[in-house]
Structure 1
């Protein structure tokens, strides 16, 4: 497997710092891509643009991948429908892997949620609660929305992200997704399937941010040599060579 050369956008952030450290530990070259500088990797490397920046910079990172004709791996959340369209456009010419969460454990949780939603009758209510540190800017988290979409794909329903005041009885087709913020919590997601006589809880708890950074580095390693198109962390999980 060819070693990638990471062109890292958001290198000064918490995730970017962790990615750079893990890449260094694994002997993977990593170049910071600060604002205003277009990175120029060595000709004998396999460059991959990796983005964990924020609005504005994420779009620039994606365009850099397209301009250089190299793969893109991204995990910046809260960017809206326009960025989704941009990812689709970029995937026509370069490999694009975007995931709201780079944890392989979350990829497994995603599959479990789909299976539970498929197997359980629609009389079970579906609710999600996510918990993150006080500095997280978007809510519900991108991961929570992705998990809610996994359940909705299997059973239909309408996403609800807020309840306040006299809301009336819960609609049977609602899928609730709610965020809690505080402390230094790295990330926790629980999906509830609530029946009349029992309750199923599927939970993933991240104890260290390196979990996500490691997944991002492995995604960058995996995407080298892939054809143009849209990919997810599930594709890395399913790889014959393993994550």
Structure 2
């Protein structure tokens, strides 16, 4: 059985992943790590779920959990990763980054970690989003040479980063297709919206093409998380990987 260490497991994303994995038959939760000073430290994992006693005590120290985990899923923040970097190096386990908001200084450190262990940076675990990015690249080649492009993304009101990691991945996909003009991003944070992304290509001929992806539940997210865990456990060589490597 694959044992996953969830770093940042008491946050919104971390809790979603904990609840998804708690009763999985082939994947278990080896450790849950939260920030120092958290009221969850020392409590049983069941305090995050509706399940009975899980037998996993929530910790505030990542270093030393390597014997309990086969890989880690980081659900913290970009700056928290910098604080955890040395522990990841010491524990020598693959790492999946489920968070976003990385600046160049963070990506430099992630690249250094990827020289030691397999690392996946995945701003969105939806398989549909991967296909969405492929469609966007095609649209950019066909229509984007002289178009104005807007990216509009919607998420729940608790999501902190603006724009989202997925919106940034959309912009990267457009630029990879040769689009060189400015791309305008619009971020909405409201209610309990799971996630919506729209790309508008407006031409000088007064035509607009819109491509959208909407998530109506977290089922696609859950499947993507499981596939990513299975995928990285098959990687024996260190390296930095993304959504395209997993869902290709």
TM-score range, shorter chain: 0.7 to 0.9
Structure 2: where are the runs of 5+ without partners? 36-59
Equivalent residue pairs, number: 219
Aligned to 1:54: 77
Distance 1:114 1:63 in 2: 37
Pairing partner for 2:186 from 160, 172, 178: 178
Distance 2:71 2:197 in 1: 29
1:200 aligns with 2:209: yes
Aligned partner (choices 76, 81, 93) of residue 70 of structure 1: 93
2:77 and 2:99 in contact (8 A); partners too: yes
Q: Which residue of 1 aligns with 2:124?
A: 101
Q: 2:4 aligns with which of 2, 6, 9?
A: 6
Distance 2:24 2:84 in 1: 23
1:121 Cα deviation from its structure 2 partner: 4.8
Whether the aligned pair in 2 keeps the contact of 1:48 and 1:65 (CA below 8 Å) is no
Q: TM-score, normalised by structure 1?
A: 0.82
Pick aligned residue for 1:40 from 50, 57, 65: 65
Secondary structure, aligned partner of 1:204: strand
* Greater mean deviation of Cα atoms: 195-204 or 135-144: 195-204
Asked whether the 8 Å contact 1:19–1:210 carries over to 2, the reply is: no
Distance 1:200 1:21 in 2: 39
Shift of 1:55: 3.8
**1:151 aligned onto 2:174:** yes
Q: Which has the higher contact order (CA 8 A, sep 6+)?
A: 1
How far does residue 201 in structure 1 lie from its aligned partner after superposition? 1.3
Deviation, structure 1 residue 143: 0.9
Partner of 2:19: 21
Q: What is the rounded CA distance, in whole Å, between the counterparts of 1:11 and 1:70 in structure 2?
A: 17
Aligned residues: CA RMSD: 2.0
Which runs of 5 or more residues in structure 1 are unaligned?
158-172, 239-243
Gap change, CA 1:201 and 1:177, over 3 Å in 2: same
Mapped partners of 2:87, 2:231: distance in 1: 20
Q: Is the 8 A contact 2:119 2:241 kept in 1?
A: yes
Do the aligned partners of residues 71 and 183 (structure 1) sit closer, same or farther apart at CA in structure 2, a change above 3 Å counting? same
Decide whether the 8 Å contact of 2:121 with 2:241 is kept in 1.
yes
Runs (4+) of structure 1 exceeding 6 A deviation are none
